[in-house]
Amino acid sequence: MFKVFKYLKSAEWLMFAVAFVFIVGQVWLDLKAPEFMAEITRLVQSPGSKMSAIWTQGLYMLMTAFGSLAAAVITGFVMSKIAASFSQRLRSKMYDKVDAFSSAEINKFSTSSLITRTTNDVMQVSGFMAMGLQTLVKSPILAIWAILKITGKGVEWSVATAVASGGIILLLTFLIVLVIPKFKKMQTLTDNINKVTRENLTGLPVVRAYNAENYQQAKFERANKELTDTQLFTSRGMAIMEPFMGFIMGTLTLAIYAIGAILINKAAPMTPIPGTNPIEFDDPGGRLVLFSDMMVFSSYAMQVIFAFMLIAMLFIFIPRASVSAKRINEVLDTPLSITQGSVEQSIGGKNGDIVFNNVGFKYPGAADYVLQGISFTAKQGETVAFIGSTGSGKSTLVNLIPRFYDATEGEILLDGVNVRDYRFETLRGKLGYVSQKAVLFTGTVKSNVAFGAGMTPAPGNFVRSEITDQQIRKAIEIAQGKDFVEKLEGAYDGQIARGGGNISGGQKQRLAIARAVAKNPEVYIFDDSFSALDYKTDRLLRKALKDELKTATCLIVAQRIGTIMDADKIVVLDEGKIVGQGTHRELLKSCAVYKEIAASQLSEEELKKGSAL
């Protein structure tokens, strides 16, 4: 667990050293108070004692109490500050690391687990930093110091304290053996319930459409019950601790007083001192000393038991914090499968040229290749389309360009430079990417279209200084979204719900396309981004893109022949291999796979003409 502390800054270590000094000071003051109590007891029991001496000792005792209180407050403040800044840094590091993950690392952990690790796990570590760490420091110091204080005060009392300590050790052993493993399991169960909840909320329309509410409810109840049962087991186990500790403390106090009474009773009685005032007594048997020692021993014994109570509390903090720290370290220590290069600009004045040289790809851990022997060229200003049956590798191919995955073999050149050699910002700055599933963010139409470099967060919205309102409107117009955007409440400042839940699938796709257009990149990648559009909108959109983006390279993944028939080059994929390249007319003559796809979508007349209506 302590491996995670390497992310503490030197200033925080210094603050911890300050807290350590105050913890030691607090323990010293707590253990000093019984000495003043013993002195007050002696003065009260001794004939002829002055009241002023008793008040003086009482004042000293009060000062130690206030000093201990001040030390505890300062320690708590310092440790809380360390915990708050440390948890903030951990969340930032977790966010940055996950942001740098490729799809392979994301799939390894799962989205729900990464969310839990960034929130709940960081909170567990922060709680340990704020409370558990000072308890971890204070408890052994208090226990050892208190034991040293009572050494030599009385064998009988020491035996009673040892027996009480043994009972506490047995309780701690019970907690370690039975309860602690359940604490470790709770974090995994928290992941599970987050996963079930997230799946249900994400797939709510499907759940309702298939009347699967009862099934999902039962699924959630199972996950919820398993987590609840585990929490109940740990809570019940820990609930034993407080009454058991109280019983031990009460029994030990009673034992100390009982032993003290026996020892005092056995001691010689006090007698008047010859030649003095009759109220002054001699104490040959040490009854006053025994009584004073009993009071001191009682206080110190309670401190020993309290120290063990603190140790028991650690078994609440440490297990969950340890598991959480391990889960955090798993994320932060995960090596990135995709690392950025150093090239910050392309060479040779090229602007959007793409070359695939014998590229092959298989997913991490998979035995079979998804793509093999992929070679083609897309020159500046060309539109290159990819078509093939489901699972032929079309989307995987275009996702290799922005390096969502890295090619297993071969090379991909963009403007004459291997994409692996570019800095991420440089590479992705050249690309306008529209994914299969249109992704929109909570905000406005403007903030979603202007999404990308140059935005700065502001309350309730995003502000982008590098793009004007006119450019945003133009991009939306090219994407054929002007009509529906201007009908929204607020028009271009209209609100978009999370994931675009308040607009249709086709409208989301058009805004996603407008976002790519507004970026004005060298290369456009449309990964089946026209599937939700009707044929008329599809045709108008492709015409607008062709007219406005004449110098840009366009890569289009599509299922419909009508979407790609005007492309400069069509690449036909089948089982991860290229089985044909050429124009629409050329492929109708030379590629059986393409002709089969075309025959399923076009009429005989359209096939003969080599074009679509």
User: What pLDDT, on a 0 to 100 scale, did the predictor assign at position 279?
Assistant: 47
Q: What is the mean pLDDT of residues 101-128?
A: 82
Residue 610 has pLDDT above 60, yes or no: no
Total of domains in the chain: 3
Instruction: Point out which residues pair with 377 in neighbouring strands.
Output: 355
Higher pLDDT, 49 or 185: 185
Residue 181 has pLDDT above 80, yes or no: no
- Residue 318's contacts (CB-CB under 8 Å, 6 or more residues apart) are 1, 128, 132, 136
213 & 125 share domain: yes
92 & 157 share domain: yes
Residue 227 has pLDDT above 70, yes or no: yes
> Last residue of some domain: 520, 553, 574?
520
User: What pLDDT, on a 0 to 100 scale, did the predictor assign at position 612?
Assistant: 42
CA angle 574, 576, 577 (to 5 degrees): 70
Q: Which domain holds residue 322?
A: 2-332
Helices (H) and strands (E) in the chain, counts: 23, 16
Higher pLDDT, 157 or 13: 13
CA angle 274, 278, 284 (to 5 degrees): 55
User: What pLDDT, on a 0 to 100 scale, did the predictor assign at position 160?
Assistant: 78
111 & 142 share domain: yes
Q: Helix, strand or coil for residue 40?
A: helix
Residue 444 backbone dihedrals phi, psi, to 5 degrees: -115, 175
- Residue 599's contacts (CB-CB under 8 Å, 6 or more residues apart) are 607
**338, part of any domain:** no
pLDDT band for 133, please (50, 70, 90 cuts).
Answer: confident
User: What pLDDT, on a 0 to 100 scale, did the predictor assign at position 357?
Assistant: 92
Residue 57 has pLDDT above 70, yes or no: yes
**340, part of any domain:** no
CA dist., res. 419 & res. 413, Å (int): 6
527 & 511 share domain: no
**355, part of any domain:** yes
User: What pLDDT, on a 0 to 100 scale, did the predictor assign at position 613?
Assistant: 35
82 & 207 share domain: yes
> Last residue of some domain: 520, 539, 570?
520
**369, part of any domain:** yes
**337, part of any domain:** no
CA dist., res. 495 & res. 104, Å (int): 33
Q: What is the mean pLDDT of residues 91-110?
A: 84
135 & 154 share domain: yes
For the chain, the average pLDDT equals: 80
Residue 271 has pLDDT above 70, yes or no: no
Residue 273 has pLDDT above 60, yes or no: no
CA dist., res. 530 & res. 551, Å (int): 21
CA dist., res. 257 & res. 297, Å (int): 10
pLDDT band for 276, please (50, 70, 90 cuts).
Answer: very low
111 & 220 share domain: yes
Residue 356 has pLDDT above 90, yes or no: yes
Higher pLDDT, 220 or 282: 220
Instruction: Point out which residues pair with 355 in neighbouring strands.
Output: 377, 413
Q: What is the mean pLDDT of residues 82-94?
A: 89
502 & 529 share domain: no
51 & 136 share domain: yes
pLDDT band for 488, please (50, 70, 90 cuts).
Answer: confident
CA dist., res. 124 & res. 37, Å (int): 40
**252, part of any domain:** yes
CA dist., res. 80 & res. 567, Å (int): 62
Which residue's entry shows tokens 């607008």?
544
* Interval 229-254: pLDDT, tens: 888 887 777 777 778 777 887 887 78
146 & 293 share domain: yes
- Residue 322's contacts (CB-CB under 8 Å, 6 or more residues apart) are 1, 184
Cα 540 to Cα 29, 386, 544, 546, 573: the distances in Å are: 82, 20, 6, 10, 27
Tokens standing for residue 580? 């044909």
Residue 359 has pLDDT above 50, yes or no: yes
**249, part of any domain:** yes
| Residue among 484, 485, 479, 493 nearest 444 (CA) | 493
> Last residue of some domain: 263, 297, 332?
332
User: Which helix (H) or strand (E) element contains residue 272?
Assistant: strand 271-272
**458, part of any domain:** yes
Task: Name, of 99-113, 207-221, 496-510, the range with top average pLDDT.
Answer: 207-221
- Residues 83, 86, 87, 89, Cα dihedral to 10°: 160
CA dist., res. 286 & res. 270, Å (int): 9
User: Exposed e or buried b for every residue in 312-334, given b needs 16+ CB within 10 A?
Assistant: bbbbbbbbbbbbbbebbbebbee
pLDDT band for 274, please (50, 70, 90 cuts).
Answer: low
Q: What is the mean pLDDT of residues 534-563?
A: 84
Report the CATH number at residue 72.
Answer: 1.20.1560.10
Return the sign of the alpha-carbon dihedral for residues 481, 482, 485, 491: positive
CA dist., res. 95 & res. 100, Å (int): 9
* Interval 410-460: pLDDT, tens: 999 998 889 999 888 888 888 888 888 888 888 888 888 888 645 555 554
Q: What is the mean pLDDT of residues 343-355?
A: 74
Tokens standing for residue 354? 């793409």
User: What pLDDT, on a 0 to 100 scale, did the predictor assign at position 386?
Assistant: 92
Report the CATH number at residue 413.
Answer: 3.40.50.300
Q: What is the mean pLDDT of residues 161-181?
A: 78
pLDDT band for 100, please (50, 70, 90 cuts).
Answer: confident
Residue 137 has pLDDT above 60, yes or no: yes
What are the DSSP calls for 572-589, one per residue? Answer: EEETTEEEEEE-HHHHHH
424 & 456 share domain: no
235 & 139 share domain: yes
Higher pLDDT, 394 or 344: 394
The answer to whether 254 touches 115, Cβ cutoff 8 Å, is: no
| Residue among 12, 46, 249 nearest 129 (CA) | 12
Share of the chain above pLDDT 90, in %: 5
User: What pLDDT, on a 0 to 100 scale, did the predictor assign at position 239?
Assistant: 75
Q: What is the mean pLDDT of residues 521-538?
A: 83
- Least-confidence region, from 143-157, 198-212, 554-568, 589-603: 143-157
